[in-house]
Every structure is written in structure tokens, then in C-alpha cells.
Amino acid sequence: MKQLLAVIGVLASLFSLGQNKQLVPYKKGKFWGYADTSGQVIVSAVYDTVYFFDNGQAKVRKNKLEGIINDHNKVIIPSIYSSCAILEYSVIENDMVRVKRHYMVGKAGKKGIVDASNQLKVPIVYSDFNWNDDQICIVKKNNLYGVIRRTDSNYKLIIAPIYTSITYFSFDGYFACKNKTGESFFDEFGKAFSNQLEAQNSEERSKATSDSDSGSEFDSESYFKNRPTSKVFKVNQKYGVCFIDNGNFGKVDSIPALYDSIAYSDQLDYNNWFLVVQKVKKWGVVDHKGNLLLPFEYDFVDASQATKFGLEGFRKQFWVKKEGKWGLVAAPTVNSLDFKPILPFVYDSFQEYGRDFLVVEKNGKFGVYNMVKRTLVVPEKYSSVSTDFVYSGLPLILFWAKNEKGIQFLVGENGVEFFSEN
């Protein structure tokens, strides 16, 4: 399970099965399988580890060996290898670019490549593959290096693994290969240059082509120099803010120095920003003209969310703390500035999950709040909900949750638990 967590805590995709069904890793006891988004088991829990589907295929592990299945539960590569990974490559067929797949597999510390029929394309004799693109690969065998090139669906050893080091100059299209007898140079098809000078001349030709093709550049210095910026100023131990427009201080509207403290961001944008400000040990929010949006009655207003308010105005939601508890206040519409509580002040902590969700904690129990739908989508009943990102790429968003027995599993934003103790 630890290996699963290490892999799928990153962006991963779930793809269709049958009629718009997506497969989600599902745990039963100590084993893993797949369920659809409603929780119905599609692939029985018989694997030690499973991974998310990628374009209809997923890696699975059973009895410490790895293989590949598809989203119809058909075995593509049997679980007989110590390691297995999907290799995608592009070919041109009927004037169309198509993506195909091979599989890098391992046995006894060595690696090779098989096709979808589990037939060897590259023998399992190499200790390492270092792909520079989907055609060129530097391989390692017996601590020496060579080069394999893929053409269509076939692989050819174009430089024998007899070198102590190989450097690939991809832009110039040649390899520099060293061993005890000296240095040799080859092009991308394995043809040897007669000497080092010939390889260097090839490099110079590439440079000349590159120099002649140079275009105009974006003048970033001038752009940022003329862009209006904001600045905090201090008068009589109080703070305010004004804009600097092309270096003319105070030309644009300013907020007078009335506040004991300001949670300031230098990313403010005129006509689309606001400030978290403090008066008499209480925090509130004002807009760019000093109009009060939130009264001075809060122990804390999260300034990081304040910046996001300006950048993502559709939200218009603030994380605020009052009498030691967190709550959420928001405006009812994009254009409204009438902020009212939408989550009561009963939460011990808020943590952001992606752009649209909050992991909320109340009395030691965790749940998930959807800030777009403004509803609690996962109730506060778990001993933890992780903010490690698991993204489906589809409407269903997944979270790692842990129950009171300490068992970790997935729960969807629809509230379905992909887990069973039976």
C-alpha cells in the first residue's frame, strides 16, 4: 500500500469503462481492485497494489510481481515481471500521428521491452534505459553504455554498449562516446564520423541555422517598468496603501493611513483587489477605495485567500477566525459585496485541496467542503483527510481518508467510500 500512496499522490487519470463508468482503486481487506464511481466492484480485490488507469490501462502488482490490465479487466501483460511500465511512442499511419504502446519490463535486475502480445522487442539484458525522446535511448549493460533507436515499432542497437560514457547532443544530432581507447562520434543512426573535426563542423552548421532564424524578443523590462504597482506607506504609526502609476506616487486612488497593520501583497491589481487590515486588534477587509467589506470583528482573516479573491473573483469567499474557531464568509453573487457567513464558526482548521475544496476539521474529525457548490460533500467523520492531491481529470474528485481504525482508503466527492472491511 505504501508503494501505491507514493505513486498516486500525484496527478492521475481515470478513464471510461462501458457506459461512462470510471474505475477507482478499491480496497477490500489487504487487497486492491477497482470499483466504478458508485462503489460497485468491477475488478475483484486480488492485487497487492493497483495504480490509476492511463488511457484505459493500469499497472497492477500481485505476489510482488507487476503486469498491465485494461479497463475491461483483460490482462495485457501478465504479472510475471519485477517491474513493468508503459512506454508510449508516436508513429505516422495514413498521414495521421498515432500513439502506440510498448512496455518496459524487468527481471533479475535487468530490463527490456515487450509489445502488447508480451513478445520481446528488446532483450532483458540492460540495467538502465535513459530515453532522450521516444526514439533515442542510451542503454547500460555491464556498466558500459550504448544507444538504441526506435523506428516505427522496432528497435535497433545503433551503438554497441562498449563505452564508459555517452553524451547525446540532441540539438546537433550526434553522440560523443568515450572508452579507454579514446573518443568516437556517431550520428543519430549510428553512422560514425571519421574524426572529431567532422562532428564539430556538424555542430557549427546547426548553430549557423539557429542564429539565422532568430526572431524578435518580448521586452519584459519595459512592460513591468510601466505597469502600475501598489505600495504601503506609514503616517503617525498607521498604515495605508496607494498605487504608483508609472512612477508618479499617489496618482491613482489610495487608502489613507488608518490601520494598525496590513496583510499586504505586492501582486495587487488596481480595480480588482482588496486589503486585509487590522484595527484595535481585530481584522477586517476593505476594497481598493477603502470601503469596508468585512467589519473589524475577526481574530484572523487568511491573507493568502485575500489575494486569491482578487485573482479569482468568482469565489468571493474568505477564511476567517472568530473566538478561536474558523468559518467561511462569502458574497451571494460575483458582483455582490454583501458578505455573510456560509460555514459556521465551529471548525478547528481549514486546509485547501486544489482550487475548489477545503479539508475541514471539527472536534478532531475531518471532512471536505466544496467552495464552488458551497456544500459539505464529505461529512466530518474521518480521523484524517489528506491534502495529498489525487486528481481524476473527470467530474469525480477523490480524497485519501483514514477511519478510526487507522485504515486509509479513497472517498469520492460524492461521499462514496472505495473500501470494505469485509
Asked if the model's pLDDT at residue 9 lies above 60, the reply is: no
Compute the average pLDDT of residues 155-165.
97
Q: Provide the pLDDT for residue 178.
A: 96
Model pLDDT for residues 99-145, shown as the tens digit of each residue? 999 999 999 999 999 999 999 999 999 999 999 988 999 999 999 99
- Grid coordinates representing 333 are 453573487
What average pLDDT does the segment 78-101 reach? 91
pTM for the full predicted model:
0.72
What tens digit of pLDDT does each residue of 339-385 get?
Answer: 888 899 999 999 999 878 999 999 999 999 998 888 999 999 999 99
Cell of 28: 477490500
Q: What's the pLDDT at 19?
A: 39
User: Which H/E stretch holds residue 147?
Assistant: strand 144-151
d(CA 47, CA 417): 18
Cβ atoms < 10 Å from Cβ of 340: 9
Rounded mean pLDDT of the chain? 82
Q: What is the pLDDT of residues 166-191, one digit of tens each?
A: 999 888 889 999 999 999 999 999 99
Confidence (pLDDT) at 3? 37
pLDDT at site 175: 94
